[in-house]
Amino acid sequence: MRAIKRVMYGCEDLGIDVLSVYAFSTENWTRPRAEVTALMRLFHETLEREFAEIHERGIRIIVSGRRGELSRRMQQRIDDAEQKTAGNRNGTLNVCLNYGGRAEVVDAVRRLLAEGLPAEQVDEAAVAARLYHPDLPDPDLIIRTAGERRLSNFLLWQSAYSEIYVTETLWPDFDVPHLQEAIVDYQGRVRRFGGRPLEEPAAR
């Protein structure tokens, strides 16, 4: 949580509007029961302890994931945090809790079927509109700590053209200077989105 706060406030200073953090995946339920219970208790206590400071800084809190599989107490805490910070405009912290990229796409398809949308109307825009938070922009940059080089089922739909930055730094040690290094690296890339580059990378 300390690393999240450092990075979140660093994003605020750098003018980055949205920070998404992977807190607990749909696959993490396979971990030992005692570990899962401890993690859920930690998430609840952290949200309760840190909420006032985040809210005071004008940051909106949203949660992505399958909430129905969380405890009622956790669901209520999430609902309260989202409702109370809904009007905040100094940035958005998107906490991916009980989240999986494949699960999100499956849930979007289920919504399409439930709504009875004709097949000819099902396109990328229709699917995107039924993701957990369709108002969020696709991520420009995904940072993987600890040298990991896989997406790990994170924002699979949204990250189709995201840039990926890998650092050997462990997440608990990740700080604003590491964030700045990632941003500088990102600024030197040319984003093509499947087409030809629109401009050359800026000189460093």
In tens, the pLDDT along 83-119 reads 999 999 999 999 999 999 999 999 999 999 999 999 9
Contact (CB, 8 A) for 100 and 153:
yes
Residue 127 pLDDT greater than 90, yes or no: yes
Residue 196 pLDDT greater than 80, yes or no: no
- Average pLDDT, whole number, for the chain? 93
Confidence of residue 157 (pLDDT cuts 50, 70, 90): very high
Query: How far is 6 from 93, CA to CA, in rounded Å?
Result: 12
Contact (CB, 8 A) for 157 and 169:
no
User: In which residue are the tokens 């990102």 written?
Assistant: 186
Confidence of residue 154 (pLDDT cuts 50, 70, 90): very high
